[in-house]
A and B are shown apart, each in its own frame.
Chain A
Amino acid sequence: MLPKINAALVEKVLVRFIRDEFGKCGCKKGILGLSGGLDSAVTAALAARALGPGNVLGLIMPYGKGFPEDVRDAGNLARRLGIRHKTIDIAAQVDIYFAAHPTRSRVQRGNKMARERMSILYDYSAREDAFILGTSNKTELLIGYGTIHGDMACAINPMGDLYKTQVRELAAHLRLPAAIRRKVPTAGLWPGQTDEGELGLTYEELDDILYGLVEGRRSRREMVEAGHRPAIVARILRMIKNSEFKRKLPPIAKLSPRSVGHDFLYPYDWGK
């Protein structure tokens, strides 16, 4: 079973991490996409504590008039945290592309939208001289439930080692609004999509299985013996393996005695 976190300790570590990383780069401002969902709300709250609310900018980037409650919740959250926010409708740039290159794939459209939001975030990062805070949690990272070069793109990722259910614990500790905490998680790729509906299991069960596999280093057989459904365990293992590419930089073909990505090894914090 996934143990409960000490949310106050986690808050302290993550706030310090954000402050440290920004401090090393001499960067005062942070920017992130605000979806109206839980993960971006928690990240925004941590960033506001670490950097001061006035130094955090939340971009709300809806596609047209879809998801009006999320847009409203995101705006309310920004006001509650005292952070700056701005709404940018991505419909025009998405529509013009798909008018020329039509598709019926909802996933393809959703991924394109995630990457449009990413490109806007990076542009605003340059305009504002602000670092992008990622909002991916450990559950998503492990099963690859994110768009590579889309919502996974960021400068630092404070919550990448917290499972989704632990993010909920942290959200309660941070006293985030109930409207956001009780919201059914969705990647927002299309209206009516929910994570748990698409995955076919609850986050509680998913996190328990991931915790057993990752921290517990249990085998598939041991997970089944512990009472988890064999088909589910097999599917989760497949998702983890199939998404390893999203958690790595692409392999570089090695030719020389010292190559980027192989044996040219420096810390991320190099020279900061």
Chain B
Amino acid sequence: MKIVLAQIVPRLGDVKANVELHLDVLEKARRRKAGLVVFPELGLTGYTLKDLVEEVALDPDSDPRFRKIVSRSKGLSVVVGFVEERPAEKGLFYNAAAFIADGRIVHVHRKVFLPTNGMFEEAKFFAQGRDFRTFEAPFGRAGLLICRDFLHYGASYVHYASGADMIVCISAAPGRGVEGGDAFETSRMWELMGEAVSYFSTAFVLYANRAGSEDGVTFAGGSFAFAPGGRLAARAAAIDPDLLFCRIDLSAVRDARRKWLFKRDEKPEVVWRSLERIVRASED
């Protein structure tokens, strides 16, 4: 399957322009016969929204702009980052990722870990997601994560435990640290996690980050795809925008799981009981 990591530069607060940008990428992906296109976190809105959150929020089931993207996903899978507000939960805004396949929204993940420290202030403006669920994608079982979710490795574990063949993380990660090589130092952190998770989950890990800058903060780019077993399949440009096409072999999951028996020997019930004990103890 051919995948596309769309390392785009969204326009801050301009959903209409960003929908066009997404459609443009989808068209290119379709022409090159891609099966999956992954856009970055808050790709439909830009990242540094603050009070703009409520202006750009949308209901993915009814918003005509969002429906345009859904309708252009015939024969394609697409991961889109947006601000979600459902009619049943008015006034609650989620930093969300939708998995769309073949003209249908298959799953929506709401970001659980909202960084709110130092330069980050997400929990000031977003409601918190409360679940990690996998779902059936056209190419296998998949789980979504949004940016900081991925750095809490329990999140990937839940997807792994529930059978994910692929973990897709969408991101708007700012670059920090300019002492190292040709990329921001923080890019190493993401790749390290991608390598480790793909290795020990024997699953694909796709990471789509954005490029561009907002309010002086430069997004680090460096999107990547790891095949099961920690094998780097592709890496996008650091800092610069990029449209990374990459072919992945879905049979690699089976191959890796025959070689490394982590999945077969996993004991989620033991982990669960241990976690339950820890959580109970902390509640007492």
**Is the pair A267, B178 in contact by a Cβ cutoff of 8 Å?**
no
**Is the pair B213, A17 in contact by a Cβ cutoff of 8 Å?**
yes
Cβ of A117 to closest chain B Cβ, rounded Å: 24
CB-defined contacts of A270 to chain B, threshold 8 Å: 12-13, 52
| Known contacts A20-B213, A265-B51, A272-B12, A6 near B179 by CB under 8 Å | yes
| A253-272 interface (Cβ within 8 A of B) | 264-272
User: CB-nearest residue of chain A relative to B49?
Assistant: A267
**Is the pair A9, B213 in contact by a Cβ cutoff of 8 Å?**
no
**Is the pair A20, B178 in contact by a Cβ cutoff of 8 Å?**
no
Cβ of B222 to closest chain A Cβ, rounded Å: 12
**Is the pair B239, A267 in contact by a Cβ cutoff of 8 Å?**
no
Cβ of B220 to closest chain A Cβ, rounded Å: 10
B212 at the interface (CB under 8 A from A): yes
> Which of the listed residues B178, B182, B183, B213 has the most CB atoms from chain A within 10 Å of its own CB?
B178
Query: CB within 8 A of B50: which of A5, A16, A266, A271?
Result: A266
Instruction: Say what secondary structure dominates the interface of chain B.
Output: loop
**Is the pair A269, B178 in contact by a Cβ cutoff of 8 Å?**
no
Query: CB within 8 A of B178: which of A10, A271, A272?
Result: A10
A251 at the interface (CB under 8 A from B): no
Bound complex: CA A9 to CA B51 (Å): 32
User: CB-nearest residue of chain A relative to B218?
Assistant: A13
| Known contacts A13-B239, A272-B12, A267 near B182 by CB under 8 Å | no
CB-defined contacts of A65 to chain B, threshold 8 Å: none
User: CB-nearest residue of chain B relative to A161?
Assistant: B216
| Known contacts A13-B239, A16-B239, A268 near B216 by CB under 8 Å | yes
Bound complex: CA A5 to CA B176 (Å): 12
Query: CB within 8 A of A269: which of B184, B215, B218?
Result: B215
Cβ of B120 to closest chain A Cβ, rounded Å: 14
| Known contacts A16-B239, A265-B51, A9 near B178 by CB under 8 Å | yes
CB-defined contacts of A6 to chain B, threshold 8 Å: 178-182
User: CB-nearest residue of chain A relative to B175?
Assistant: A13
| Known contacts A16-B213, A264-B51, A268-B216, A4 near B179 by CB under 8 Å | yes
Bound complex: CA A3 to CA B13 (Å): 37
Cβ of A131 to closest chain B Cβ, rounded Å: 14
**Is the pair A271, B13 in contact by a Cβ cutoff of 8 Å?**
yes
| B177-212 interface (Cβ within 8 A of A) | 178-184, 212
Cβ of A236 to closest chain B Cβ, rounded Å: 22
Cβ of B106 to closest chain A Cβ, rounded Å: 32
> Which of the listed residues B13, B175, B213 has the most CB atoms from chain A within 10 Å of its own CB?
B213
Query: CB within 8 A of B216: which of A9, A12, A17, A271?
Result: A17
CB-defined contacts of B214 to chain A, threshold 8 Å: 267, 269
| B127-165 interface (Cβ within 8 A of A) | none
Bound complex: CA A270 to CA B51 (Å): 10
CB-defined contacts of A3 to chain B, threshold 8 Å: 179
Bound complex: CA A248 to CA B214 (Å): 19
Bound complex: CA A99 to CA B30 (Å): 74
**Is the pair B48, A267 in contact by a Cβ cutoff of 8 Å?**
yes
Query: CB within 8 A of A5: which of B12, B175, B178, B240?
Result: B178
| Known contacts A10-B178, A267-B12, A269-B12, A17 near B48 by CB under 8 Å | no
**Is the pair B12, A266 in contact by a Cβ cutoff of 8 Å?**
no
Bound complex: CA A156 to CA B214 (Å): 12
Bound complex: CA A6 to CA B239 (Å): 14
**Is the pair B175, A266 in contact by a Cβ cutoff of 8 Å?**
no
CB-defined contacts of A21 to chain B, threshold 8 Å: 213, 216
Bound complex: CA A265 to CA B215 (Å): 13
Cβ of A1 to closest chain B Cβ, rounded Å: 11
Bound complex: CA A176 to CA B50 (Å): 40
**Is the pair B50, A267 in contact by a Cβ cutoff of 8 Å?**
yes
User: CB-nearest residue of chain B relative to A14?
Assistant: B218
User: CB-nearest residue of chain A relative to B213?
Assistant: A20
Bound complex: CA A21 to CA B214 (Å): 8
Q: Mark A194-231, 1 if CB is under 8 A from B, else 0.
A: 00000000000000000000000000000000000000
The 4 closest A-B pairs by CB, nearest first: A265-B50, A267-B48, A3-B179, A268-B215
B: residues with CB less than 8 A from A are 12-13, 48-52, 175, 178-184, 212-216, 218, 239-240
A: residues with CB less than 8 A from B are 3-6, 8-10, 12-13, 16-17, 20-21, 156, 264-272
20 examples of A-B residue contacts, CB within 8 angstroms: A3-B179, A5-B179, A6-B179, A8-B182, A9-B181, A9-B183, A12-B239, A13-B218, A16-B213, A16-B218, A17-B213, A20-B212, A20-B213, A21-B216, A266-B52, A267-B49, A267-B215, A268-B215, A269-B214, A270-B52
